[in-house]
Structure 1
């Protein structure tokens, strides 16, 4: 296990990102509520999801009832099959993107073959191979509920579509009472294999989010940032 859950603020907890850049292990947010906790992202594999489950149990937090995908990329969704009894929520555009991913014949040989065809896939696909030793347990889970612009969950967690060049289905999740905004990878540049020399972080989006002046903001591959 990487480490235990970190308390961010209010009812928001975080299973932190993997600091090893080759692992591509995004953080997982937990917004605790007696009606059922809200997970922000699923983990990058069933094994990663099980680590988070153990950490939630160790803290005595309510079991998750909702699982929100900040976007469709593998390191945010491949752990979903290991989460029982949750409703998966995502932007409507994630459905076709995840359906296409589910139709690919994922295996270690497939990863090697794809990297041979496009070496730029190497960092991502090597990380997938490390994350999933047994592809027999991988199942890509499509969302059970989708939305277009915004959605508020029964626990008060607010979801909002922001899009961007990293992933068109990117959303942010706000817990108003805790003043914590979880942004996934929304302002990141495109994935490495699609990136050009002119691509960089979406600074305009980052500034818009900072201007909302939440107490803490969390992206998926960095430590939480206090203030704005």
Structure 2
């Protein structure tokens, strides 16, 4: 069950849904305008979010920011009657989707060809059970590195950061609230033969994120997390990245060194993270 949650006077978010891969949608409430972060995975998703904002007395958004091109963040754009903004490469990647058909047969064929992944195809089928009329609406405005948006009383810095999940990832820093909307940027690359992280992309991304003075971090398919929670996740990523480089992708050596460093047995997330870095090392070295 999705709910609209108030994190601060200036920021509201709608909780995600794992089954149909609905990510968190955000609303930054300024004195002059409300900014919507991401457009949702369907028109129904976007409309539901806007309806919940209205029910809570929040001014309708006047602008949407799109964090990256993946379907679950953009398929709701056709339901929006206000402008949107995205990194220039995000718009270019979205253009590539426009010729696609989205019926089951077309999705299955793209999965077979390696263009689409099974997880996303399954989620699309679940989200669009009644009809599959999907219109890829492109962003109205693009930027090349970063852009500041003054909403009145609150400023949003939208910055391209890249990363393994997708090279076009952008984040949104809500300056006065010290909230950093990371979207999917610290997640692994799923559009590959194996889910993976790479050492160079991960370390570069973490360094950029560290330049923001944030107290709360928003992970699109999980929840808002505190600085200490994010720092622990970043510490794991950075440590495994460095060990992957040191041991040249040798899984057993990485695992043993990491276990010795933390002084306990590894949890599921740490085991998966190591495997993803090993995958990346094997794929790209």
Q: Same fold by TM-score, threshold 0.5 exceeded? A: yes
Superposition deviation, residue 80 in structure 1: 0.7
Secondary structure of the residue aligned to 1:153 is: strand
Deviation string, structure 1 residues 65-102 (Cα, Å, up to 9, x no partner): 11111001000000111112x11100011122101111
Gaps of 5+ in 2: 229-285
TM-score normalised over the length of structure 1: 0.89
Higher relative contact order (CA 8 A, sep 6+): 1
Would you tell me which structure has more helix in proportion to its own residues? 2
Within 5 Å, give how 1:17-28 maps onto structure 2: 17-18=16-17, 20=18, 22-28=19-25
Within 5 Å, give how 1:156-195 maps onto structure 2: 156-191=155-190, 193-195=191-193
Within 5 Å, give how 1:65-214 maps onto structure 2: 65-84=62-81, 86-118=82-114, 121-133=117-129, 134-136=131-133, 138-155=134-151, 156-191=155-190, 193-196=191-194, 199=197, 203-204=202-203, 205-206=205-206, 208-210=208-210, 212-214=212-214
Which residue of structure 2 aligns with residue 219 of structure 1?
219
Within 5 Å, give how 1:42-57 maps onto structure 2: 42-57=39-54
Gaps of 5+ in 1: none
Deviation string, structure 1 residues 161-197 (Cα, Å, up to 9, x no partner): 1011211111110111111110111121112x41536
Structure 1 residues 187 and 126, CA, compared in 2 at 3 Å: closer, same or farther? same
Structure 1 residues 52 and 103, CA, compared in 2 at 3 Å: closer, same or farther? same
Return the index of the structure with the highest Cα Rg: 2
Structure 1 residues 189 and 130, CA, compared in 2 at 3 Å: closer, same or farther? same
Rounded to whole Å, the distance in 1 between the matches of 2:115 and 2:146 is 38
Deviation string, structure 1 residues 116-168 (Cα, Å, up to 9, x no partner): 444972111010111123122x2111111111111012312111110112111
TM-score normalised over the length of structure 2: 0.72
